[in-house]
Structure 1
């Protein structure tokens, strides 16, 4: 069943992208309980196995029903385009206990028996203490599950924002939204999202925040009731190569043609990326990656585009053909 978002003129001017470490932490916690989300994350799951055993996520999981409402205050819309986790978790700790009580009660009601469980009753009995307990659990999850990999995750998320920001300039909001995910449809100022229940919201001049997400895959998540700003999280581009090591993605024919370093950098550019993002993901010195990017761009295999203070690199059609290990690369084999 659909979820309809109705845009007015002011809303069209107030749509923006954001990257949220708190959102990724929340969805990583949810992913641990959702086997259908595990397909793209086996290496991450192996890495965090030991760290995850030391976490008590029971209260968070209780508020994450399979269907229905999840508390908005635990993963609120990002406060800025590049918010730090410390800023976001501080906002969670400052949540109004009265509003949090209603938020938690709605979430618990979505799972039969959850509100009457010992943990459910404790959360509802003292919402101020519950807010702090849940924020502590989320912060522990951040340090164990996300923080060690955040540079890699952030690089992928920022590359997605850069790509779609360019598409927004090229095709406009009505053209962009259906490109974010096949479940999004745009028609004359109304965004329709495939949803579990019938729901509608007029954005009323607040606009829409668009969040690319690694751990919400394969779901498109939308909502946030007033007074929260409407937000939509969609699966990030390039997730299939996120956890791959350089040796997994670099064709040997390409290595013989370009050398190991340049071949590794080219093969890693399955989505636009910055020098620092590639360096962290590949475990190479930033100066080495910069030199390889300059050489590849000079050979016509890459182009660079500036977005704000960052420069993103992406493959040209020739670079894409070479990185795939076929076409031109095979001719030189």
Structure 2
């Protein structure tokens, strides 16, 4: 069944990309509920199995119906570069009565949930419900997601950088079908093939485009009024997300640049931040930063700011050296 989002003139000027650590935390919980659907994350699922077993995820799972509504207040649309701490603070500040109505809508989509002891307790005391669910999300973040956040953020930032360039090249109507094969664009209307049916006129609010690691294999057109409409789609490159680097850097590149700089240049096959590279390569951030500065000054890398982060990527010359530096 399709979801349709109708754009007006003002909406084209109010579309933006965003990254949400809170969304990744919530969808990591969803991945654990149905792990058999998420083959790309099999390595991660095996690695965090013991840590996940120590968490009580049943309260969050109760609000994740297989088909139906998940509460918008529990994961509102993010600002462009919000931290988890900023996002969870917004969740804790949710209006209890609005959260109660939103939660009741979600519970109604899971047979028996409305009349379950936990469901009744939440609806009777929504302020307590907000505290309990916020605490549960925060525990999941610190236990399962935060340790890998530099890696996840690097992938998400690379997706935003790529699609921002494509937006400038082909416009919104050209970009949206490229983002995912289930997106169609005709007559200023975005049609998304999803499991639910939804229709909305954006009314000048624009659209948040949000890449996600854990949403795969789904795409989600989400958030009812008053929330800003949001399209959550699988980020590019998740197939190799959990693979460890093989540590091989072309010998010729090492002889030209030195081991450290060659390793950093070769690792930037997708845009990344200093912190993400340091985490991926097991190097000190100060060492990576020094290598990045030299490589950028030499014309092998470029840098662009995204929110509070700086993304580095190979220039055409850097790309040629990194890909053609092998022995012959």
Q: TM-score if structure 2 supplies the norm length?
A: 0.88
Residue 119 of structure 2 is matched in structure 1 by: 120
How far apart are residue 298 of structure 1 and its match? 8.0
- Structure 1 residues 179 and 98: CA distance shift in structure 2, 3 A: same
Deviations 1:10-31 (A, max 9, x none): 1111111111111111111111
Q: Structure 1 residues 92-101 or 10-19, which shifts more?
A: 92-101
**Structure 2 contact 7–201 (Cα < 8 Å) conserved:** yes
**Structure 1 contact 8–204 (Cα < 8 Å) conserved:** yes
Task: Answer yes or no: is 1:199 the counterpart of 2:190.
Answer: no
How far apart are the structure 2 equivalents of 1:263 and 1:243?
22
Residue 210 of structure 2 is matched in structure 1 by: 211
How far apart are the structure 1 equivalents of 2:225 and 2:11?
15
How far apart are residue 293 of structure 1 and its match? 4.6
Residue 250 of structure 2 is matched in structure 1 by: 255
Deviations 1:215-261 (A, max 9, x none): 111211112111111011111122223222222xx5x5x43332354
How far apart are the structure 2 equivalents of 1:207 and 1:149?
31
Residue 307 of structure 1 is matched in structure 2 by: 305
Q: Structure 1 residues 63-72 or 35-44, which shifts more?
A: 35-44
Residue 142 of structure 1 is matched in structure 2 by: 141
- Structure 1 residues 303 and 133: CA distance shift in structure 2, 3 A: same
Residue 24 of structure 1 is matched in structure 2 by: 24
How far apart are the structure 2 equivalents of 1:88 and 1:294?
32
SS at match of 1:32: helix
How far apart are the structure 2 equivalents of 1:54 and 1:40?
23
**Structure 1 contact 60–134 (Cα < 8 Å) conserved:** yes
Residue 5 of structure 1 is matched in structure 2 by: 5
Residue 234 of structure 1 is matched in structure 2 by: 233
How far apart are the structure 1 equivalents of 2:186 and 2:276?
37
How far apart are the structure 2 equivalents of 1:239 and 1:207?
27
- Structure 1 residues 321 and 45: CA distance shift in structure 2, 3 A: farther
How far apart are the structure 2 equivalents of 1:319 and 1:243?
25
Q: How many residues align?
A: 323
Residue 14 of structure 1 is matched in structure 2 by: 14
SS at match of 2:73: helix
SS at match of 1:73: coil
- Aligned residue runs from structure 1 range 165-176, under 5 A: 165-176=164-175
Deviations 1:82-107 (A, max 9, x none): 11112211111121222112211111
Q: TM-score if structure 1 supplies the norm length?
A: 0.87
How far apart are residue 274 of structure 1 and its match? 2.6
**Structure 1 contact 304–311 (Cα < 8 Å) conserved:** no
How far apart are the structure 1 equivalents of 2:322 and 2:304?
23
Residue 93 of structure 2 is matched in structure 1 by: 94
C-alpha RMSD of matched pairs (Å):
2.5
How far apart are the structure 1 equivalents of 2:233 and 2:301?
26
How far apart are residue 159 of structure 1 and its match? 2.0
Task: Answer yes or no: is 1:59 the counterpart of 2:53.
Answer: no
